[in-house]
Chain A
């Protein structure tokens, strides 16, 4: 089992604020890191799949970076909007790349 930590557990920001949160994972046996967005009463949806050290991905106002040597990834949201309110999950894949281990997530609440 991979020990995956996400911080903070929850975050409350005002509309227009920029924010970021962290996913930490063991740097050994790293294969890939997935980020998912999970809105209340829906199912998780994939945001990014990242594999290479130094990788940066961007989708609209959301971006992510990856450091495989030290075992962390940052997710950034620029100019948060109420529709960004969701739980953001990260899931690293190790050498047994058929398994995913999810962190407990960061719950973001954006107030209008």
Chain B
């Protein structure tokens, strides 16, 4: 059982380049999330999707877009990468009721 799978694991971009981070879960979860993790700041919510077809902004959505392609997949896009977006990005999912979140292994993104 793979759980939550993120790709790629590492990426280096130049300022202004675009890229999409992929996330897929195989647990039939309704809700999916994208977080960024910066030193001393814990996990900050970028966007989330409560169910297929819906997306909402979190704490730090500027500079990002998301797509909930289907129930399994939730992608995060950086249209024009900036050095301030250098971070580790985590995708997570959760089922109905009060279940905990399941996290992917993270994507380490560096923007030069």
Contacts and interface: CB of A to CB of B under 8 A. Distances in A.
A101 B45 CA distance: 7
B79 interface: no
A9 to B, nearest CB: 8
Interface stretch (A44-52, A64-72, A75-83): A44-52
A45 B103 CA distance: 7
Contact of A43 (B33, B50, B98, B105): B105
Interface residues of A, number: 25
B100 A49 contact: yes
Interface stretch (B20-28, B36-44, B67-75): B36-44
Contacts of A9: 40
Contacts of A42: 105
Instruction: Report which residue of A32, A99, A103 has the largest number of chain B beta carbons within 10 angstroms of its beta carbon.
Output: A99
A31 B31 CA distance: 17
A103 B40 CA distance: 10
Nearest to A97: B98
Interface in A20-45: 31-32, 34, 36, 42-45
B43 A43 contact: no
B48 A43 contact: no
Instruction: Report which residue of B50, B58, B98 has the largest number of chain A beta carbons within 10 angstroms of its beta carbon.
Output: B98
A63 interface: no
Nearest to B102: A46
B1 interface: no
Contact of A89 (B33, B43, B48): B43
Contacts of B99: 49
Interface of A: 1, 9, 31-32, 34, 36, 42-46, 49, 51, 89, 91, 93, 97-105
